[in-house]
């Protein structure tokens, strides 16, 4: 698939198939889980993004990397990008993806998570979960002997954040020192973006209404990461101050899945946080607009912004597949089946 990003990623000084960071990450991550971005080291995050770019530009090299591997996706929530990016990515690397619709039967309701895990580990090589409760994912990971991947929970959305920062690296060349602003609800997507930005040395500013700030535990972890990696985490309640000179402005829906009953209450609270042309004008002239999608157009973002040349929302969406392919390769030892990595 041809890249539609504004700027090509920088040429690596070492061929990616000999890159020591990717090989080291492959050795450490094989068989591990991804429940949270906090499960990854800074070097592992960088390796995923680097491998994601390699997979994106040389997909034919990975056609048999996961031959005969089985992946099950068990989703309690509706999905477009997450499901299709995992299924197409896994299938194009030789594996087989099995989808189980859990929207009418939440995991843990019919039988315990532990019992589900002990069955699945005997049939499949990786378990991908999209759930409401984050505990469902951590419980599955604690009980399954195969890797478990968080494909979204009420606490984090790590695969989304990896794809997003891959898009930023493609556009700007590097993320370290980048001024990244999130405007809206301090939700699961916000949490994973804070952690990923902190791991990569970005300066992350989050602007939320009073009472909708990100979880304090995530903030504490992100600030510790940012300090180690030369970045900064700021929390504000003024969206105009937050986007001042930003290189990237990101927003998400103000009513996440599971909070639909709060729609009427939230609408007036989040109205001043809408990303429109006036707000984007406060960002740097070269700033990009980002959204994890689906977007509620003319609510959290106007058509004029999301359809503008500044918008890279579909580059983000495309990268869901490439970043997730890289993640699967590292967790499942797939590089051993790629000739250039042997």
Active site residue 296: no
DSSP secondary structure letter of residue 103: T
Cα torsion angle, 295, 301, 302, 303, sign: negative
Q: Which of 9, 35, 139, 160 is catalytic?
A: 160
Could you say which of 185, 252, 322, 324 is catalytic? 252
- Beta bridge mates, 150: 129
C-alpha closest to that of 171 among 60, 287, 18: 287
From residue 223, give the alpha-carbon distance in Å to each of 112, 199, 215, 233, 330: 36, 10, 12, 6, 27
For the record, the structure tokens of 110 come out as 């019919």
Q: Rounded to an integer, what distance in angstroms lies between the CA atom of residue 161 and that of residue 294?
A: 15
Active-site residue flag, 322: no
Catalytic hit among 130, 171, 266, 291: 130
Decide: 40 and 225 in contact? Cβ < 8 Å: no
- Check if 157 is active-site: yes
342 is catalytic: no
Residue 49 neighbours by CB under 8 Å, 6+ apart: 162, 165, 166, 169, 323, 326
Q: 159, 190, 254, 292: which is the annotated catalytic residue?
A: 292
3-state secondary structure 45-57: HHHHHHHHHHHHH
**H helix runs in the chain, sequence order:** 20-29, 42-57, 81-91, 113-120, 134-143, 158-172, 188-199, 216-229, 239-243, 263-270, 277-280, 303-306, 313-331
Instruction: Tell me if residue 64 is catalytic.
Output: no
Selecting among 53, 157, 266, 291, the annotated active-site residue is 157
CA nearest neighbour of 250 among 173, 159, 177, 185: 185
Residue 292 falls in the annotated catalytic set = yes
Per the DSSP assignment, residues forming a β-bridge with 251 are 183, 291
Question: Which residue is catalytic, options 46, 83, 191, 320?
Answer: 320
Catalytically active residues, by annotation: 130, 157, 160, 252, 292, 320
């Amino acid at each position: 698939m041809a890249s539609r990003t504004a700027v090509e990623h920088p040429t690596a000084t070492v061929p990616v198939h000999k890159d020591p960071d990717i090989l080291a990450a492959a050795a450490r991550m094989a068989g591990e889980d991804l429940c949270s971005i906090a499960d990854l080291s800074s070097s592992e995050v960088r390796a995923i993004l680097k491998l994601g770019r390699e997979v994106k530009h040389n997909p034919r090299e990975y056609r048999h990397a996961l031959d005969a591997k089985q992946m099950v996706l068990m989703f309690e929530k509706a999905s477009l990008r997450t499901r299709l990016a995992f299924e197409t990515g896994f299938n194009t690397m030789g594996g087989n993806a099995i989808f189980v619709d859990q929207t009418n039967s939440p995991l843990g309701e019919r039988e315990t998570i532990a019992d589900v895990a002990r069955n699945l580990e005997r049939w499949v090589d990786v378990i991908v979960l999209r759930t409401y409760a984050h505990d469902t994912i951590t419980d599955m990971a604690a009980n399954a002997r195969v890797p478990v991947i968080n494909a979204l929970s009420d606490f984090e959305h790590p695969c989304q954040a990896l794809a997003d920062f891959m898009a930023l690296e493609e556009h700007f060349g590097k993320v370290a020192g980048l001024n990244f602003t999130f405007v809206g609800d301090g939700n699961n997507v916000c949490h994973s973006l804070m952690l990923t930005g902190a791991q990569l040395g970005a300066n992350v500013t989050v602007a939320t209404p009073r009472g909708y700030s990100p979880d304090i535990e995530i903030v504490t972890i992100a600030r510790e990461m940012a300090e180690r990696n030369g970045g900064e985490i700021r929390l504000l309640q003024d969206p105009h101050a937050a986007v001042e000179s930003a290189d990237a402005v990101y927003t998400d829906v103000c009513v996440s899945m599971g909070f639909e009953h709060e729609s009427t209450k939230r609408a007036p609270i989040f109205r001043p946080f809408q990303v429109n042309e006036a707000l984007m004008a406060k960002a740097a002239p070269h700033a990009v607009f980002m959204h994890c999608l689906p977007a509620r157009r003319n609510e959290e973002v106007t058509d004029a912004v999301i359809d503008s040349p500044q918008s890279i929302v579909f580059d983000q969406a495309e990268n869901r597949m490439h970043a997730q392919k890289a993640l699967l390769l590292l967790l499942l030892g797939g590089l051993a089946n790629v000739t250039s990595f042997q």
